[in-house]
Structure 1
Amino acid sequence: MPGTNSDSSVRLTAWVHGHVQGVGFRWWTRCRALELGLVGAARNLPDGRVVVTAEGEKSACSGLLSALKGESTPGRVDHVVDQWGEARGGLHGFVEA
């Protein structure tokens, strides 16, 4: 199937630091991810961060990462730590976990 091979699909994991819980950040992230055609999840961590896992075309994942680092996010993003890898599959839709 076109567009699903490992050359074009990647996995982005982004740990978002700042005031990002209780402000609609996961919902906002889900909306951006779905607009970009990505699958994955955004979930709160006990230490106050949000971890975002997204799979799809590299350009779409790059767009999501730019949005996460942008100035229009809910709350306050201090910094984002990102990790890139090969798409693993098994993700369906984009959920707020």
Structure 2
Amino acid sequence: MRLYAVFAGTVQGVGFRHFVKTKAKEFGIKGYVRNMPDGTVEVVAEGDEEVLRKFFEAIENGPPLAEVTDIRYQFEDKEGGFTDFEILY
């Protein structure tokens, strides 16, 4: 199962990517997180559906300095074969 999410608001320059990577490691999630040119943060995460939903709940508000104003997300029934969770630059 895959979670695709885009977080908007004050989500760049506040440790959001590191926060998401730390949570992904805690949940055993594979995929990536990256800053997008429009100021949003994109998360692609793969794993068991129940674990992915808990992971999403853990990251939906971001770290303390973040202010998430909008999240576009969907769960998809596919996987891309990620071997780890990483921050893309």
Q: So what's the TM-score if we normalise by structure 2?
A: 0.89
Identity %: 35
Q: So what's the TM-score if we normalise by structure 1?
A: 0.82
- Cα distance in 1 for partners of 2:43, 2:78 equals 14
Aligned match for 1:49, one of 40, 45, 65: 40
RMSD: 1.5
C-alpha distance after superposition, 1:25-78 (max 9, x if no partner) = 000000101101100000010000000000001111101211222365541111
Unaligned regions of 5+ residues in structure 1, if any? 1-9
Residue 89 of structure 1: how far off its partner (Å):
3.2
Unaligned regions of 5+ residues in structure 2, if any? none
Do the aligned residues in 2 keep the contact of 1:20 with 1:48 (CA within 8 Å)? yes
**Equivalences, count:** 88
Residue 86 of structure 1: how far off its partner (Å):
1.5
State which structure, 1 or 2, has the greater radius of gyration over its C-alpha atoms: 1
Match of 1:33 in 2: 24
